[in-house]
Amino acid sequence: MADSVDGRGRRALGALALLAVPTVLAAVPLAALAALLGPGGLGALPFGAAGGLLAAAVVGPAASALLGPVLIDRRIARLPDADLDERRADFVADRVASLAAEVGVDPPEVTAVRADAANVAVADGHRGSRLVVSTRLLALPKADRDAALRHALVRLRTRQALLATATLPALAAVETAALLATLLVGRRGDRTAADRRVNRIHGYEPDRERVPSWAYAAAGALCWLLLLPAWIPATVGDRFAVAGGRRAADALVARAGAAEREGLGNAVAFAGDAAGAGDWPPLLDRLSLVSMADAETGRVRGTSRQEARTRLARLRSKRTL
């Protein structure tokens, strides 16, 4: 019981950290604008930078929550359709509806996509709930497929999908900036003689370096320093709320029965080991059954590389029950 209370506390802390990310991003322009227009500036507003910070705490999460479902819908629209025949599509929708009734949620809109990754993602927001499932996951044995779908519906019931969807635009912005800063810091400045010779032949590479490598490294380090106030809560939120939410959903699915527990373990193991991770949209990664972020993205997030193995070990132990 103590472990369960501790787990809920960590997830609550992670949720606050996730909500802090859009707040920090909104605070940069709003605090500066309030300081300019406030008593210390033009005097057009009755409050200064502190009022701008308070406004950011409302405007940031609200704007991110409005943009989240729109961003996800636009990304889903670009995914290759599974081209299921009418009978197969009706079967998938009916199976999701049956599992949703068992879990206790309204059936989400189901989108089957043609992907090699054996994964399923669930989103929620003002546009309604959406479930994105790959054809490879649908091809798994019945127990494994249903357990993975149940896991997504459990995250929908516990509002984990709602939180992840609402904070996704801010998290994606921070992650993109962190990747850019990392690339700048690690930019290779030395080129071989063969590189220089080929470039000179094509006429676009002078003998001397236009921008020295230390300038790129300094720019990347500066970007990281500016990004830290948003990156730290994003990392904490990823570790505690997103990854912790997956583990909590694992436990709830496992308690539904031995077949569900074994099926979920098989689905997590197969999704983590099978080829096709690069075929899964990175934007849906935080909403998915299994994280499929590459090594570079995982390091930027601070995500544990052992998350899937840890979940699998828990599912196959008595501790989950």
Per-residue pLDDT tens over the stretch 30-63? 998 888 887 877 777 778 888 889 999 999 999 9
Tokens of 301: 């997030």
pLDDT score, position 35 = 87
What is the band of 301 on the pLDDT scale with cuts at 50, 70, 90? Answer: confident
Residue type, 2: A
Does residue 296 surpass a pLDDT of 90?
no
User: Average per-residue pLDDT in the chain?
Assistant: 89
pLDDT score, position 319 = 59
Bridge partners of residue 133, in order along the sequence: 112, 120
Q: Is the CB of residue 257 less than 8 Å from the CB of residue 263?
A: no
pLDDT score, position 152 = 97
Does residue 206 surpass a pLDDT of 60?
no
pTM of the model: 0.88
Does residue 198 surpass a pLDDT of 70?
no
Tokens of 28: 């940069």
State how far the Cα of 113 lies from the Cα of 89, in Å rounded to an integer. 11
State how far the Cα of 321 lies from the Cα of 308, in Å rounded to an integer. 18
